[in-house]
Chain A
């Protein structure tokens, strides 16, 4: 934490309530019909859901549960129900039976999955791990579960991509947009955050409400007392009745378990809806960069989920051609490609929101990634950029040297509000308390600024390079690919591409 963050937290404490952080809303919020709120609860020690709750748009929530979270079939049935909804929601025709041309699918807007907190995203990963290659049980059901596995895999991987707008962690969004007068651990609890936000009254009253909210879990785990005191006896009764042939007792126990589990998911869903409502009525405008990030999310979904599912669906495939590993990328080229894609996304996310949010700009300046100063002089000089001897406009920008700076010679910056026009830093010097930068602006910006104008220069995006590298990563037709692209675990043929040297010699001998 920086002293700036401490000051903000103290201010929030002084005001007795959470305070807005940032001048814009940086996450796009999809229309209700394009949102699913999703929640899980699981039994202690297990890695699959005991209950699933989802709400599509403004429809009533659907609450599913299994009487015993350890039983494969009831849990599988529950997950299959989710699969049918989720896969279609994300644009897969596999379970809807739609005929879709993979290269020309009907346009689908941004579709979002909202979850209470990070633990639910972990559960999505667990579904990916468990189901993406399952062949257990009825083939028709295992096909549906594999579809869930793949959808979950896409969602989990996408959740890791910075700037993505498909999988939204409600707690994280609130923390990103508000400063809370509490320690970081408490701020992980969505109920705590919302109670602090929505309770009218003094700080003490808000804190009281927040403490009461904290009594209830919002992660996918249940409290040990609930499991021990209420659920365990019911599960035991259910299992005993199954053995004793007591169908009525079983049904009652199952219903009682369902009531508790459903209530838990219902509460979590309600909290997420509360978060969305809070953000929707926030006076701050949506950051213009968020729309760009939303477009990227749509592209990612269409390219890395929908196309694959649509292609697979053409064959009515039992095991689609491409099931990305839930754990890692075993092929070096795939690992590299994904790595570059993630780097490019991270870079883009960090710069595209800056232009529309003066508070984010302040943070960037304080961190040394951006510079705020004055245009001290404009001159003309031969370009110092590659392969150009023509004279160009050169800006001399002066800023305070008391702030740290990461900006070096050769760095690419852009004027706030002009993200598409790169300016290159040709020289950096510190003269007493002043930092002096010489800058060659994009030729389209020549003449756009007057001397003594305030100047705010933000980092330019280098995402393009990441994308280009990602495309290059798969190429393995070069002379060094024997080393760089060889599959681990298989002996790499030392030497050049071509026939084995012994074979060559034998050929020579023969001739």
Chain B
């Protein structure tokens, strides 16, 4: 399992609850949480809609069809690419509608393209160099044993002239089928897209640095997010999405993820049983948001209930009560004599609150 080079997904899982030891081990070692849940007798509830997966694929295919004409046109209209930009380098693997045999082949081709872009500069644009690279593939270093080297695949990498007119500027493009609704576009969906784009931007910086091309290629601090127009295949381009801080978020996050990986007692990640055992033995830290992404959440919540953990009434309740159990807080609210300064303060706050 640790050989799955899905570092980005592990990062996203880890960042959702970095203080939960079980989540950390699962993310770092690639132990699937749905399997852990099954071993506990909990029915996993996550997984994607098959229709959503199909829609995502078909949307992407429609955009990249015919040398990505419709996508490039939309990008030019929004000044994400200069007028006249054209050309698609398609590095998708066969499974995703492309022609390449494997991600490793895509990795080699991406490397070559970046080297060519560095060599020719902006002069090579839209002749030798394409406007869009579909599935540009990069590798970033992991942490020995537990966190493998990561392979990351960018939906659409754009190439355009840098401000100086000489170098090529690379722009991260993230394609999603989320419906564009103007200011009502789902903020969590936007955050997901930006988070992913930020990871890619960070990874691209590392990749280019590894190739020794940092001073010959520019990476735009802004990315492009492609959404769909209300159920159609027509793309909506968000041309200037601020990725600077999401990039840094990824950078800091990866450092902490690697540190977390170093803190996990090594075991053979290919041993599924062992992995499940390790996750089950680890401490958990339940938060209400866990329900939205973790298959074990219902079990953790039940355990929190049994322990009287105030988090089951909400994080703000937990903040006020701290380690005081719900039942004890109810007693204090009812006038029971507090013991110790913590309970004394809590009792005062609750009584004041109840009287307000």
Contact = CB atoms under 8 A, between A and B. Distances in A.
B203 interface: no
Contacts of B182: 326-328
B228 interface: yes
Contacts of A224: 45-50
A184 B333 CA distance: 22
A302 B94 CA distance: 57
Give the bracket for the number of chain B residues in contact with chain A.
35 or more
B48 A44 contact: yes
A4 B291 CA distance: 26
Given A184-B314, A227-B50, 8 more contacts: A1-B320, A4-B354, A6-B320, A184-B288, A221-B49, A223-B45, A232-B51, A328-B182
Contacts, number: 142
A46 B317 contact: no
22 contacts: A2-B356, A3-B320, A3-B356, A5-B353, A6-B350, A9-B317, A10-B330, A43-B49, A45-B52, A45-B53, A46-B51, A48-B231, A129-B179, A129-B229, A130-B230, A182-B312, A185-B289, A221-B49, A224-B46, A227-B49, A232-B50, A328-B182
Contacts of A70: 51, 55
A366 interface: yes
B317 A328 contact: no
Q: Which label, helix, strand, loop or mixed, suits the secondary structure of the B interface?
A: helix
Nearest to A362: B356
Contacts of A225: 45, 47
Interface string B179-192: 10111100000000
Contacts of A181: 313
Contacts of A44: 48-53, 55
B311 interface: yes
B82 interface: no
Contact of B350 (A7, A43, A47, A326): A7
B89 interface: no
Chain A contact residues, majority secondary structure: helix
A266 B337 CA distance: 51
Interface residues of A, number: 49
Given A3-B320, A182-B312, A10 B184 contact: no
A125 interface: yes
B315 to A, nearest CB: 7
B124 interface: no
B292 A185 contact: yes
Given A4-B353, A183-B288, A47 B333 contact: no
B316 A1 contact: yes
A48 B350 CA distance: 47
A141 interface: no
A429 interface: no
A125 B50 contact: no
A152 to B, nearest CB: 12
Interface in A216-260: 221-225, 227-228, 232, 235
Interface string B301-315: 000000000011111
B55 A1 contact: no
Given A47-B231, A328-B182, A228 B50 contact: yes
Interface in B249-298: 288-289, 291-292, 298
